[in-house]
């Protein structure tokens, strides 16, 4: 449970760091690219085994890390586009509701059993995510634009399900730091290619705040993945329970941090969502 709690904390801090980017005028794209290089470096520093650069492609999980690296970049850009076109609230709901995909994945592929109480908890979790992320919006958008949140939903869910599959089939625990480092290195490489095409903008907008923001995000980002992999080893909770608790707790915790740190206004519907989140976590964890 400690690993799950640390994963929730690290993932929540990611949202806080993103919130601070606006205040300190950090260039988000360049900070994201920096973050992947930093996260990869942290993983390499924490890896205690002996391996060379040329040995990594021979690892059974290498191809999976390359795919995940691409997904990280693609899904992030989809999230940015969706936030701009249909609003942050809709995009947030799509991202967090994606935990349904790894839950279904765990049931179908690993025959994970769900008690009736846990099923009720997962259904309440869906409602909790929706109400906790609900914001009043005046943004008007075409129905065709909903394809972006749909892609965010699918992409985020596929990332979580892929992490579970690779963790279950291919990775030894001692390889977690190296695996995480390789995932982030793949994302960094893709991000670097994007930066090359924006070389002129890069020189103009890369500053000390962007560097610091990228480093902070990279450290937190690494541990969010590392502790999630550790949490998936929990003998008490199956993967469907882990993903449900992880996503719902992140929504609840970031909402509370928003109130405390940024004095964000919370509607009665948001408070209802938080109450449902607490209830769903209790049902899923102890059901």
Work out whether the CA dihedral 216, 38, 79, 96 comes out positive or negative. Answer: negative
What are the angstrom distances between the C-alpha of 18 and each of 159, 167, 208, 210, 245?
Answer: 20, 28, 16, 11, 22
Retrieve residue 237's tokens.
Answer: 């909770």
Q: Is the pTM of this model over 0.85?
A: no
| Domain boundaries of the chain, sorted by first residue | 2-286
∠ CA 223-227-229, nearest 5°, is: 120
pLDDT in tens, the chain (287 residues): 789 999 999 988 888 888 888 788 888 888 888 999 999 999 988 888 776 667 788 888 888 888 888 888 888 778 767 765 766 656 667 777 788 888 888 888 877 777 888 888 888 888 887 787 666 554 555 666 678 888 888 998 898 888 888 877 777 778 888 888 888 998 998 888 877 777 666 666 778 999 999 999 999 999 998 999 889 887 778 888 888 888 888 877 877 887 788 777 777 887 888 888 888 888 887 76
């Amino acid at each position: 449970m400690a690993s799950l709690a640390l994963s929730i904390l690290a993932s929540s801090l990611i949202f806080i760091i993103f919130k601070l980017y606006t205040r300190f005028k950090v260039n988000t794209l360049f900070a994201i690219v920096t973050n992947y290089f930093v996260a990869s470096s942290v993983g390499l520093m924490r890896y205690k085994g002996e391996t060379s650069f040329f040995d990594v492609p021979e690892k059974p999980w290498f191809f999976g890390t390359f795919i995940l690296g691409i997904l990280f970049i693609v899904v992030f850009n989809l999230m940015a586009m969706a936030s701009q076109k249909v609003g942050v609230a809709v995009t947030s709901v799509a991202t967090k509701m994606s935990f349904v995909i790894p839950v279904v994945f765990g049931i179908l592929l690993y025959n994970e059993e769900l008690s009736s109480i846990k099923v009720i908890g997962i259904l309440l979790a869906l409602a909790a995510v929706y109400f906790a992320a609900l914001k009043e919006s005046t943004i008007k958008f075409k129905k065709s634009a909903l394809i972006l949140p749909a892609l965010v939903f699918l992409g985020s869910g596929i990332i979580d399900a892929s992490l579970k599959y690779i963790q279950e089939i291919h990775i030894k625990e001692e390889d977690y730091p190296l695996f995480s480092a390789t995932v982030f290195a793949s994302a960094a490489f893709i991000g670097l290619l994007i930066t090359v095409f924006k070389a002129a903008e890069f020189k103009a907008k890369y500053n000390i705040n962007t560097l610091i923001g990228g480093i902070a995000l990279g450290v937190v980002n690494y541990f969010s993945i590392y502790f999630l992999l550790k949490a998936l080893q929990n003998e008490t909770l199956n993967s469907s329970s882990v993903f449900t608790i992880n996503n719902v707790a992140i929504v609840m915790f970031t909402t509370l941090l928003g109130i405390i740190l940024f004095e964000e206004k919370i509607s009665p519907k948001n408070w209802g969502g938080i109450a449902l989140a607490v209830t769903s976590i209790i049902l899923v964890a102890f059901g």
